[in-house]
Amino acid sequence: MLFKSIGFKYRRRCFLVVSPSSFAIGTFTRFTYSDSSNAYLFYTQQCQFEEQIASLIQKCPDMRTLRLIHARFLRSPFNFSCYALSKVLGFSALSPSGNIDYARRLFDQIPNPNVFAWNSIIRGYSQVRDTSNPREPISIYKKMLRLGFAYPNSYTLSFALKACAIAAALIEGKQIHGQVYKYGLDSSLFVQSGLLNFYAKCEEIEISKSVFDEMPRKNHVAWSAMITGYSRIGMVNEALDLFREMQQAGIVPDEITMVSIISACARTGALDLGTWLHKFIDRNNIKVDLKLSTALVDMYAKCGSINKAKKVFDEMSKRDTMAWSSMIAGLAIHGLVEEALDLYSRMNETNVIPNHVTFVGVLSACALHGLVSEGRRFWSSMHVLGIVPVMEHYGCMVDLLCRAGLIEEAHGFVEAMPISPNLVVWRTLLVGCINAKRFDKTDAVAAILLELDPVNAENYVLLSNMYASRCQWEKASQIRKQMKNYKLKVVPGLSSIEIDGMVHEFSVGDESHPEMREIRGVLKEIAERVRLSGHKPMTLSVLHDVGDEEKEIALCEHSERLAIAFGLLKTKAPVVIRVVKNLRVCGDCHQVTKIISQTFEREIVVRDRVRFHRFIDGSCSCRNFW
């Protein structure tokens, strides 16, 4: 009666909102405005209607229901307000069951988007990790500034910074950093965390630390981002120090922080620290979710404790594709190829669907052990499962064929690839040609590699080493002159060893370690025992035009020998000496380490860039195939 007396005609319409577990029926009133003097009341009814729409969207279970609500909204007599449209946009852009394409079409139809609409679409695109254009949210943010319909707030800047972190857009991120001060949002915790995360993801660790130190209040997110930043670049000692500071500040780490620091242990081979962190998780009742369990499996495997990795894996109540894949890869790099392939069979029996990562692990296992027929079978099974091979799979197959000496087939395989081979594939083929002494093919492959990447030092080192191994010193010298002209720097050989929770790193001919005098004393004892064993240094592996005496000295200065000597100095049997090297172990160091394991009666585990070598009593787990 009230509406009739003030000139409104109305009728009630029913609508149906479907939720996952029940049906909820509600009503809204459709009004027809007939009295110009009651504009305020009409506006009030519009606001109520929009609140109803917002409430319905909040409970919306899927896109189908959202489209129904959106359709009802479009048929209403009220003007389309940016508020209500933004609610529809927010669900389609941000909900797990949303649709970013639907959101974009809707966004493009909003005449003057408010800041909520801009934030929704920027954040929505940042959440779509498989997009073909990871820079799209950055482009949208630039458009927002250019059009000037709305000014960015703290959420806008934090979402834009997240997009820059995902796309590794360092220049744009630094520009946004300047805009933080322009808009007076430098005190926002959201913005500060966004800046910290951005610089950490882009490995600008000094700037990231500066942002972190300037934060008056550090939430959990900030600590985790900084620890993750250190972990990404292998600064495990710094990550651990920050982890301790975090505890002293009274902030209890969660599973996300633990995944970050455990991943840092995996990269550096810090087993003792990783084990301590595992115990810390248990003592503090930190939730061990699927991601954290998988990180523990990966850490133990990459730190050389494959039995502990298997124990964690076996105790997992639930295993997804990544968990199975991590365990398969761990077994493969430890030389346990039969177990790796058996585990793949078990994975299939449990109806867990393998993905790209799984097949990288399986094909790597075949490559490391020369299992050509098995590798071909897995390659075929990928296609049966509908998994389209990516570059890593092609690289594994080329590596498999090259290691088996099938250079012609490997070369034909590369030339027949449906996607353009990347630098890693061509470099793998070049290494295969050099190792197989197929010098008739090396020049052609090298020419392609240098054309594609003329400023990569590793390419020139490969060629220089090839010529040096054939005593073609003039050609080797020419290659090194080219490197000098390009001002290219060679990646130095680095080896690390963990002692009492601290990671010590050594480089070739390193003199910086405070205990270098004692280390050289151990090196002298090693050299004497190696000589008495009858070993003759493989001086051909020293690729310089110098005398044999200088070559023998150079071999003794390799980083892994310094690390092993430090391990012998600081530990006693039965403690296992564990070393991580960033390059492939050379033939002479491999043979000498076997002798050390026998004469010193110590177990030594070396992880190089390819696989694990476990030395016990004069033998290696790789069986001289690496």
Residue ranges per structural domain of the chain: 1-87, 321-388, 497-620
Least-confidence region, from 166-170, 394-398, 406-410: 166-170
Pairwise CA distance, residues 570 & 619, whole Å: 23
| DSSP SS3 for 545 | coil
H-type helices in 271-390, by residue range? 271-283, 290-302, 306-315, 321-333, 337-349, 356-368, 372-384
Q: What's the pLDDT at 551?
A: 46
Most confident of 160-174, 452-466, 490-504: 160-174
Which of 607, 596, 606 lies closest to 522 in space, CA to CA? 596
Confidence of residue 240 (pLDDT cuts 50, 70, 90): confident
For residues 355-374, give the mean pLDDT.
92
Q: What's the pLDDT at 369?
A: 85
The one-character DSSP state at 513 is: S
Confidence of residue 546 (pLDDT cuts 50, 70, 90): very low
Whether residue 623 is predicted with pLDDT greater than 60 in this model: the reply is: yes
What is the tens place of the pLDDT at every residue in 274-288?
A: 999 999 999 988 989
Residue 31: alpha-carbon gap to chain centroid: 55
Long-range contacts for 524-532 (Cβ within 8 Å, ≥24 apart)?
526/561, 526/564, 526/565, 526/568, 526/592, 526/596, 527/556, 529/595, 529/596, 529/599, 529/600, 530/592, 530/595, 530/596, 530/599
Q: What's the pLDDT at 16?
A: 35
Q: What's the pLDDT at 463?
A: 86
Which of 166, 176, 81 lies closest to 126 in space, CA to CA? 166
Rg of the chain (C-alpha set): 31
H-type helices in 436-558, by residue range? 439-452, 457-469, 473-486, 516-532, 548-556
Q: What's the pLDDT at 79?
A: 55
Global pTM reads 0.73
Confidence of residue 8 (pLDDT cuts 50, 70, 90): very low
Q: What's the pLDDT at 378?
A: 96
Higher pLDDT, 49 or 319: 319
Residue 480 tokens read as 């090194």
CB 286 within 8 A of CB 261: no
What type of residue is 447?
Answer: A
What is the tens place of the pLDDT at every residue in 15-55?
A: 333 333 322 323 334 444 444 446 556 556 666 666 777 77
Name the average pLDDT for the chain.
84
Higher pLDDT, 69 or 453: 453
Confidence of residue 581 (pLDDT cuts 50, 70, 90): very high
Pairwise CA distance, residues 470 & 466, whole Å: 7
Q: DSSP 3-state helix, strand, coil percentages of the chain (rounded to 5)?
A: 65, 10, 30
Higher pLDDT, 240 or 138: 138
Q: Measured in Å, how far apart are the chain's first and last C-alpha atoms?
A: 89
